[in-house]
Amino acid sequence: MSNTNNPLQPRYILNPVYWPTWLGLGFLWLSTKLPYKYILLLGKVMGSISYVLLAERRRITRINIGLCFPQLSKKEQGRLIRESFYSSGMALFESALCWWGSDEKVKPLMHIEGLENLKQAEEKGHGVIMLGGHYTMLEVGGRLMSYYTDKVIPTYKSARNKLFEAVMADARKRISHDLIKSLDMRGVVRALKKKKIIWYAPDQDFGYVKTSVFAPFMGTEAISLTFTSRLAKATGAPVVPWYIERLPDLRGYKVTLGPALENFPGGDDVRDATIINNMISQHVEKVPEQYLWGHRRFKTRPAGSPPIYRPRRGKQMRRYSLLLFALTIPALIYSIINAIRYKNCKFFTERMGIGSYAKNVDFWIHAASVGEINAVAPLIDLLKQNHPDCIVMLTTNTPTGYQNAQIKFDNVAIHFLPFDWMWAVKRFIHRTDPNCTLIFETELWPNLYEYSYWRGKNLTIINARLSHRSLDSSGWRRYLLSLCVQYTHRILARSEWDKESFMKLTASEEQIKVVGNIKWASRRNTKPEPLHLAKKYVLLASSRDGEEKLLCQTLSNLVTNKNYLLTIVPRHPKRLQDILTDLKDLDLKIAVRSLNQPVNDDTQIYIADTFGELEQFIAGSELVIMGGSFVPKGGQNIIEVARQGKAVIFGPHMDNFDNEATLFLQHQAGFQTNIDSLENTVTMLLTDNQLCLATGNNALKLVEQNQDMAKRYYDEIIQICGPCKH
């Protein structure tokens, strides 16, 4: 039995929030004392008022009727819209009549046809699923059926107003004795096993859920629950069609029970859902004004289909927007400081959403920073090579990413992505009008994804991955991530693990495809020129906060007694002063590249805090230690090292590169160790030159096996996006 709140609890009576609801309920109760003729008249007046005041509901009704009855003229559709509002207004007072009206007043209005079909279905001994749609007289149907059987149990969806839900549930239980929530499959199965009659209406849009498919409803694809066929299969219960209509000339109401569906379920979810939708549609076409047109039946769309209704922002998205508003001043300060620091006013204007952007873009690719831009470079080259007249736009989040892109690309529009304020996103999308939107990896911005979806801009995530942290998130953050996934047209994932991760965030099987890691691709046909220093060196690449000191302490014997140089290329060069402060008490001889300090025989640590030289340092090193992996930062891209045929050592924290790390270890293309064993591993590779070379060669073979990765992505993208505008 449903644990429904008691409407007479003090918290409902005394809470001022519910006082207007009590007044409304009191008015409805008083209306039941009127003659039936005036109850309907009062309902029609209420419907007329609702038609004028409820603009959003009127808009939804107009859209639904326009989709389902395209053969009607605009005038005929307008008349049907008004009549549907009248019917909904009447239904409100009819519900009150069924909740509180006496049998002497209500029973003469009730008529039933096809009761023998229900009795025959009951005789099979498996319970019965009494299936109908969301007609406006649902409450009337419940009261009518109670006069012929006490076995009917309605299913229901929770109302937003808890007091109204409690009063409604209390009244329904007095009529039907029990209630079950719509998606409580276990409760429904238990009731059917007790040979009860489950009264169920599946024609609502619950969004993307595992038990739903797309099936036509009155000519338009609609998300449809497979709950009915699953129940029928699990319990053997027959499915009996159920209809109700308001009779003309004040004659009351008639319930029609059809024969049980034959060969149902048939084993095909789409076929079964189509049968149910057609069954409901046939009755709707008979009395269309008596269907509940005000709900967003076609809210969830098939992948790639434009939205039908105007966006409705939920509570979580409103909270997200409030948070962004609260961060406005810090964002302004941050943008101004970085615009001055990097002498690039575009960082301020474009991040604020007030820049001058490229127009009529064919391919828009967003890559967060330097590493991501390097990864998408081969893909951009293929797009420009095969579509020279197309406009390709690349956006990034960071000044260093912008500088890197300016160096790498010709004839590509390069911009900063605006902050995720809705007004900035709207202006950006309107100005650029992208034909194909490609977001690299894990950039999930709710307003950008939502507005792109509502504008019909198909957004695809390429090289898609999710961190363990994102996957394990809960509450508000997980909701926003799931929302972004729902608004995504296609997801091209790095691996099967990433595919499964996105599916846990509501991605569908049809929406996602595993292509591989695009970081295997390279735009270089030749290796970069090695950068040699005065001493042989071990490279610490892309180091993160605190990692420099940790590794300098661990490898102090190497730089002191073995005459090797430890060269550090930090992930963020602007951290130079922090790094020098951390290393100050280690008494090491340090040279800094940006200060033009030379490397001599006494130099032990060389900090290469310059931009764009990592590949040359990798090529000139003896071996590479990958940063971000000895502190919990998720690791960095070890494929960059493999591409140079160098041996790589990485630490235990490779969460963001799990698949690559596993692949390297399986093919003896790298070494994973913890900080305590790092010195021994480095020493082993430096003293065993054959092992070091073999490890690097194995890594290079992995690169060669996956060198067509950019072409794989290009083929998928062209198939998804279609022809260019130009």
Do residues 429 and 452 lie in contact, with contact meaning Cβ atoms separated by under 8 Å?
A: yes
Confidence class for position 560, pLDDT limits 50, 70, 90: confident
Strand, helix or coil for residue 451: helix
Q: Is the residue at 528 inside a domain? A: no
- Tokens encoding 339: 């615009």
CB atoms inside a 10 Å sphere around CB 583: 18
Please check whether residues 371 and 428 belong to one and the same domain: yes
145 occurs within a structural domain: yes
Whether the pLDDT of residue 29 is over 90: the answer is: yes
Domain boundary among 290, 324, 353: 290
CA separation for the pair 11, 9 (Å, rounded)? 6
Is this model's pTM higher than 0.75 or not? no
* Mean pLDDT, the chain, whole residue set: 90
Report whether pLDDT(562) > 80.
no
In the chain, how many domains are there? 4
The stretch 226-242 carries a mean pLDDT of 91
35 falls in which pLDDT band (50, 70, 90)?
very high
Q: Indicate if the pLDDT at residue 122 is higher than 80.
A: yes
Euclidean distance between CA atoms 185 and 584, whole angstroms: 65
pLDDT value of position 174:
83
Greater model confidence, 555 or 561: 555
E-strand spans in 293-412? 363-366, 392-396
DSSP letter, residue 654: -
Which DSSP helix (H) or strand (E) runs through 553? helix 547-554
The pLDDT of 598-623, averaged and rounded, is 93
pLDDT the model gives residue 164: 82
The answer for residues whose C-beta is within 8 angstroms of residue 424's C-beta and 6 or more apart is 352, 353, 354, 418
Single out the residue in 58, 76, 101 at which a domain terminates.
101
Asked if 495 and 541 sit in the same domain, the reply is no
Reported as a pLDDT band with limits 50, 70 and 90, residue 358 is: very high
One domain for residues 94 and 112: no
Distance in Å from the first CA to the final CA of the chain:
62
CATH number for position 642:
3.40.50.2000
Which H helix or E strand runs over 540?
Answer: strand 537-543
Q: Work out the average pLDDT over 423-439.
A: 95
Segment 587-595 mean pLDDT: 94
Q: Do residues 409 and 271 share a domain?
A: no
CA dihedral 490, 492, 495, 496 (to 10 degrees): 30
Residue 537: what pLDDT? 96
Choose the most confident range, by mean pLDDT, from 14-28, 75-89, 195-209, 448-462: 75-89
Residue 524 pLDDT exceeds 90: no
Task: Over range 500-528, report the average pLDDT.
Answer: 86
Give the pLDDT mean for 673-678.
96
- Model confidence at 5, pLDDT cuts 50, 70, 90, reads very low
pLDDT surpassing 90 at residue 392: yes
CA distances from 456 to 59, 114, 273, 459, 570 (A): 19, 46, 27, 9, 41
pLDDT > 70? residue 645: yes
Shared domain check, 128 and 255: yes
The Cβ of residue 629 has, within 10 Å, a number of other Cβ atoms equal to 29
In a domain, 531, yes or no: no
Mean pLDDT of the region 469-490: 85
Shared domain for 542 and 510, answered yes or no, is no
Q: Quick check: 36 and 109 in contact, CB under 8 A?
A: yes
- Whether cis (ω within 30° of 0) applies to the bond prior to 265 is yes
Whether residue 85 sits in one domain with residue 233: no
Q: 530 lies in a domain? A: no
DSSP 242: E
Q: What's the confidence (pLDDT) of residue 285?
A: 95
Is pLDDT above 60 for 18? yes
Provide the percentage of residues in the chain whose pLDDT is more than 90.
69
Would you say residue 526 lies in a domain?
A: no
User: What pLDDT does 11 receive?
Assistant: 65
Q: Regarding predicted confidence, which is higher, 582 or 611? A: 582
Please check the confidence at residue 288 and state whether its pLDDT lies above 60.
Answer: yes
State the residue range of the domain holding 439.
Answer: 315-520
Task: Print the SS3 string covering 608-623.
Answer: CCCCCCHHHHHHHCCC
Q: What's the rounded mean pLDDT across residues 260-289?
A: 94
Evaluate if residue 455 carries a pLDDT over 60.
Answer: yes
> Does residue 376 share a domain with residue 254?
no
> Residue 391: pLDDT band by 50, 70, 90 thresholds?
very high
- Can you give the pLDDT at residue 13? 64
Give a yes or no: residue 481 inside a domain.
yes
β-pair partners for 154 = 199
Which residue, 310, 322, 409, is CA-closest to 365?
A: 409
Percent of the chain with pLDDT over 70: 97
Q: What is the band of 592 on the pLDDT scale with cuts at 50, 70, 90?
A: very high
Q: What is the structure's pLDDT at 162?
A: 79
Average pLDDT over residues 448-469: 89
CA–CA separation, 540 and 644 (whole Å): 15
Are 284 and 135 in a shared domain? yes
pLDDT surpasses 90 at 477: no
Determine the average pLDDT of the residues in 64-75. Answer: 95
In the numeric block, the tokens 């996956």 are attached to 706
Average pLDDT over residues 584-593: 93
Q: What residues contact residue 338 under an 8 Å CB cut-off, 6+ apart? A: 347, 348, 399
For range 431-436, the mean pLDDT: 94
- Tell me, yes or no, whether 23 and 45 share the same domain: yes
pLDDT (0 to 100) of residue 6: 54
Q: Pick the residue with more confidence: 371 or 218?
A: 218
Residues 451 and 574 in one domain: no
pLDDT (mean) for 289-317: 85
Whether 193 is in a domain gets the answer yes
Confidence of residue 175 (pLDDT cuts 50, 70, 90): confident
- Write phi, then psi, for 94 (nearest 5 degrees): -65, -35
Instruction: Let me know if residue 722 belongs to a domain.
Output: no
Relative to beta strand 392-396, strand 253-257 is unpaired
Question: Based on the domain organization, do 652 and 668 belong to the same domain?
Answer: yes
* pLDDT, average across residues 681-699: 96
Last residue of one domain, picked from the residues 44, 66, 101: 101
- DSSP-assigned letters across all residues of 108-119: GGEEEE-HHHHH
CATH number at 442 reads: 3.40.50.11720
Give 4's pLDDT tier (boundaries 50, 70, 90).
very low
pLDDT band at residue 3, thresholds of 50, 70 and 90?
very low
| Sheet with strand 590-592: strands edge to edge | 590-592, 605-607, 565-570, 537-543, 624-626, 648-650, 671-672
